[in-house]
Structure 1
């Protein structure tokens, strides 16, 4: 593997950053022009899990604030998934270590699709999607880091909104209808109780009283993007130093699931022994599914169109 200095790596990054967002296919001449080896340049392999595990990239300790600042700015260019992924990859690429060239060769705009819970579908939040994507190619405790990040996102009031953090990432930058900056007291906080985009945004909208198409939502999501990038790097740094533990308040296993998994867990049952639906999930169940004894009549507004009360 070649060694590259910081200036060389940054030159490679600038070349890729200038490409149009969403352009995921690159010619071999692009790699060749930048002096990186083509065969095996990005050590993720193409032969499935075994090959991937044998070709992980080296993680080096990063400054969480530097990554968070990049992520906040990148949100405006490509959304939440792009913001987290682009920030971590580019910081790794400028560190001048043996794998810097490999990180510089990654076209980070392949992650633009993840915004809005995958092109507006409201599924997995692009922030945690990006965190898992970068962790997946690093030589770290992958499951532990992903578990820690997902649980943090699920259980922590966000965005953090403290003055020190906002100053270091350069926030806020967006304004309300009166032209005033959308400060932390206006943005408010909410807890997602889920890693799904639509749940996270819905809970925030209810807490802040801002509509989902207001600039306040963009400011909130930009700050959450920065926070997830920051925490991902913190967890990666701890993993690198063999110090990653899970805060008891952010336990790796959702305790509220206990009464659910006693019946709804993964099994090898066949039709003759089937009892109830099998579930394979670490997410909190009751965020979306009420306990059986709480399931009652259909809500009074169920016959109305969703858009009656929840317009775009």
Structure 2
């Protein structure tokens, strides 16, 4: 028996309606478990509200579990106890999942766990005046180019550390990279300490990054154009590299590159 296109379509829709009931049900239940308890769905975004930067930094300093866990746990916990309409949803997030990020992903020295946490956290947030990506970029550039951890007496007291513990840090340093490897190596050179002695330094670094992350989020929430602040831009040298190694266009045989991170930390360039 032959059927025309309209009849075939009707049969397909009919089958889809019957067989697809389970699919619809699964889709509708994507944000709950089998007992009806809320679970964050892929692509779901939660509402941010301004937080206290120092209180967040203090919680990160006190948390432990590695740098990624410190920053992620502190900000999620602060939002869980905030006036956000999604506070209860933030409470459901298992922050222990961020524990893998310590020392550049379980000791591999790659992306610093602080930055890994910032990317994961901001990616969960609902649109903040169109500036979520700019917040991540600004945090990454600040980490690369700022002498860290923050070491003012006010900050040290605010996070609950002491001047005596500063002797364990010896000196702050500039990472010149988003990599844990570079960050620790430059601090080791500046302080004379080894990787195994990084404890207090890295606790303070996580507190510093949590503090600055909240500052950036608060400023974005108020409508400040984060992409326009100096710290959000790649260095002049990196921008010069991008003129040839672009993401959409390149100069001659130059490779296409997608990154805003510092270039000459790893690459010597063409003329030196």
Does TM, normalized by the shorter one, top 0.5?
A: yes
Rate the CA distance shift 1:268–1:189 in 2: closer, same or farther, 3 A. Answer: closer
Report the Cα distance in structure 2 between the residues aligned to 1:157 and 1:248, rounded to whole angstroms: 18
Who is 1:183 aligned against?
Answer: 166
Q: Summarize deviations over 1:61-103 as a string: whole Å, max 9, x none.
A: 11011100110011x3x10000000000001001244211100
Conservation of the 8 A alpha-carbon contact between 1:148 and 1:246 = yes
What SS does the aligned partner of 2:57 have? helix
Match in the other structure for 2:75: 88
TM score, norm. by length of structure 2:
0.80
Q: Is the partner of 1:136 in helix, strand or coil?
A: helix
8 Å contact 2:76–2:90 — kept in the other structure? Answer: yes
Shift of 1:274: 7.2
Distance in 1 between the 2:268 and 2:253 partners? 19
- TM superposition outliers: structure 1 runs of 4+ over 4 Å: 246-249
| Distance verdict in 2 for CA 1:228–1:247, change over 3 Å | farther
Which residue, out of 249, 253, 256, partners 2:234? 253
Among residues 98, 102, 117, which one is paired with 2:104 in the alignment? 117
Offset at residue 263 of structure 1 (A): 2.7
Q: SS of the residue aligned with 2:90?
A: helix
Query: Which residue in the other structure is 1:49 paired with?
Result: none
Matched, 1:279 2:251: no
Aligned equivalent of 2:29: none
1:241 is matched with 222
The answer to whether 1:151 aligns with 2:129 is no
Let me know the Cα RMSD of the aligned residues.
2.4
Q: CA deviation at 1:148?
A: 1.1
**Of residues 122, 142, 161 in structure 1, which corresponds to 2:132?**
142
Preserved CA contact (<8 Å) 1:264 1:277: yes
Instruction: Show structure 1 runs of 5+ residues with no match.
Output: 1-26, 47-51, 174-180, 295-312
State the aligned residue count.
Answer: 238
Q: TM-score, normalization: structure 1?
A: 0.71
Query: Which residue is equivalent to 2:37?
Result: 38
- The answer to whether residue 247 in structure 2 is matched with residue 266 in structure 1 is yes
